[in-house]
């Protein structure tokens, strides 16, 4: 059993107990050893959220805006070639194209997204410009790419040698089977483990002005059909922010999230008085209820925070974790509660 699995096993699933994993320790220059107790300022999906949160915190701690913070945070895994499910180095579709999906949203319902974007590393920043510089919410495919180039983004090949190798390996069988959770990504030790075939960074932040924002970015499901778009760029599915209530994001099988308007549902449940964890749990149960035979075999996880700075998550399967950073820069990787414990 690897370090992360050992850590997750030893943590009490079904609770919000927090602790730092050995990998998180190694990934961060200044490791904290206590779970955050104060108001949560930034929260993000998976273990790679630890580093993303630190980039976001660098902005929040300088009295910066949550929108800048979530963009900065999301750019960290986008640029990390060891991460095979986000940005540069992401695994391609079945035809060998790395296609990115991303979205961003602020507390005033301003939002933007890109889907099936090729050749541009920082999809989240393109999404932000869709929001700020166009009258639209979502640009896709070549139109998104052309827009990015017109805004000065540099074109680059996102298919790294490691991802290309993994694709050629997959081509030998061409068997498409989404994995429930990606295997461990040993970023701390600098050893990439080429197992992840999906996972997304969703990041939510609350700034000192009381404003929420969120961002979400992914290369989506590895070996997907060319042109497939997941939940991440769809406002209301992979991401939703309501400045009066809270924010939510998702990871896992995007199709199941889209058909339930997942992140919007989580925010609406918080509006009705649920805590972030309760809202995420109810949304996960809704996903399971709609398509039990499909959903029980896959992973869907939601992560949410409310305006008071409370955060929580819930997943169908065990193995989902989320990174939390509070107003004192106390950081933790929290094993999410889940419907199925093993």
Contact track, ligand ASP, 148-187, x by CB under 6 A: ----------------------------------------
Distances in Å between the alpha carbon of 100 and those of 67, 152, 180?
20, 18, 20
* 92 makes contact with ligand ASP (CB under 6 A): no
Minimum CB distance to ligand ASP, residue 235 (Å): 14
* 44 makes contact with ligand ASP (CB under 6 A): no
| Pairing mode, strands 138-140 and 111-117 | parallel
Helices and strands per DSSP (H, E), number in the chain: 11, 13
* 113 makes contact with ligand ASP (CB under 6 A): no
Instruction: Decide: 100 and 219 in contact? Cβ < 8 Å.
Output: yes
Closer residue to ligand ASP, CB minimum distance, 74 or 253: 253
DSSP labels, 213-234: EEEEEE--STTPPTT---STTS
Task: Exactly one of 45, 200, 218, 249 is catalytic; name it.
Answer: 200
Residue 168, Cβ density class (10 Å: 0-12 exposed, 13-18 middle, ≥19 buried): exposed
Binding-site member from 199, 242, 310, 326 for ligand ASP (CB under 6 A): 199
Closer residue to ligand ASP, CB minimum distance, 48 or 153: 48
Q: How many residues touch ligand ASP (CB under 6 A)?
A: 13
Is residue 200 among the annotated active site residues? yes
Cα-atom radius of gyration of the chain, to the nearest Å? Answer: 18
* 119 makes contact with ligand ASP (CB under 6 A): no
Distances in Å between the alpha carbon of 202 and those of 4, 75, 101, 294, 322?
20, 11, 12, 23, 10
Q: Which of 273, 270, 279, 216 is nearest to 246 (CA)?
A: 270
Per CB under 6 A, the segment of 88-96, 143-151, 230-238, 315-323 that binds ligand ASP is 230-238
Q: Which of residues 239-278 bind ligand ASP (CB under 6 A)?
A: 251-254
* 78 makes contact with ligand ASP (CB under 6 A): no
Q: Pull the structure tokens for residue 156.
A: 């680059």
* 232 makes contact with ligand ASP (CB under 6 A): yes
Per CB under 6 A, the segment of 49-57, 149-157, 215-223, 307-315 that binds ligand ASP is 215-223
Report angle CA 219, 223, 229 to the nearest 5 degrees. Answer: 50
Report angle CA 231, 237, 240 to the nearest 5 degrees. Answer: 125
Q: Is 258 helix (H, G, I), strand (E, B) or coil?
A: helix
Minimum CB distance to ligand ASP, residue 75 (Å): 17
Binding-site member from 75, 84, 122, 198 for ligand ASP (CB under 6 A): 198
Distance separating alpha carbons of residues 158 and 219, to the nearest angstrom: 10
Binding-site member from 214, 230, 236, 262 for ligand ASP (CB under 6 A): 230
Minimum CB distance to ligand ASP, residue 199 (Å): 4
* 221 makes contact with ligand ASP (CB under 6 A): yes
Binding-site member from 36, 73, 112, 220 for ligand ASP (CB under 6 A): 220
Element at 134 (helix H, strand E): none
Closer residue to ligand ASP, CB minimum distance, 54 or 232: 232
* 231 makes contact with ligand ASP (CB under 6 A): yes
Phi/psi of residue 100, each to 5°? Answer: -105, 145
* 329 makes contact with ligand ASP (CB under 6 A): no
Interface residues toward ligand ASP, by CB under 6 A? 198-200, 218, 220-221, 230-232, 251-254
Active site residues: 200
């Amino acid at each position: 059993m690897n370090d992360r699995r050992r850590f997750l096993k030893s943590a009490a699933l079904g609770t919000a107990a927090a602790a730092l994993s050995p990998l998180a320790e190694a990934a961060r220059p200044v490791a904290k050893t206590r779970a955050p107790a104060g108001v949560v300022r930034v929260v993000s999906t998976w273990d790679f959220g630890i580093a993303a949160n630190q980039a976001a915190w660098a902005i929040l701690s300088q009295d910066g805006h949550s929108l800048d913070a979530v963009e900065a945070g999301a750019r960290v895994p986008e640029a990390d070639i060891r991460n095979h499910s986000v940005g540069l180095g992401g695994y391609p579709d079945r035809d060998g194209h790395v296609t990115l999906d991303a979205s961003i949203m602020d507390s005033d319902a301003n939002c933007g997204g890109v889907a099936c974007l090729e050749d541009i590393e920082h999809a989240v920043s393109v999404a932000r410009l869709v929001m700020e510089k166009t009258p639209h919410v979502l640009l896709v495919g070549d139109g998104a790419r052309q827009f990015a180039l017109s805004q000065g983004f540099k074109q680059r090949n996102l298919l790294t040698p490691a991802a290309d190798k993994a694709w050629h390996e997959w081509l030998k069988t061409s068997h498409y089977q989404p994995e429930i959770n990606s295997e461990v990504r040993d970023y701390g030790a600098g050893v990439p483990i080429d197992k992840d075939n999906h996972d997304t960074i969703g990041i939510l932040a609350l700034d000192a002005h009381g404003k929420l924002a969120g961002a979400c970015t992914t290369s989506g499901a590895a070996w997907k059909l060319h042109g497939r778009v997941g939940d991440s760029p769809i406002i209301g599915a992979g991401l939703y922010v309501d400045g009066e209530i809270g924010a939510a994001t998702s990871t896992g099988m995007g199709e199941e999230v889209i058909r339930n308007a997942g992140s919007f549902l989580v925010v609406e449940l918080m509006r009705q008085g649920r805590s972030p964890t309760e809202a995420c749990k109810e949304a996960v149960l809704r996903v399971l209820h709609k398509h039990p035979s499909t959903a029980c075999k896959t992973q869907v996880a939601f992560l949410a925070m409310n305006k008071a700075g409370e955060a929580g998550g819930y997943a169908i399967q065990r193995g989902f974790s989320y990174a939390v950073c509070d107003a004192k820069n106390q950081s933790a990787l929290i094993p999410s509660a889940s419907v199925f414990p093993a």
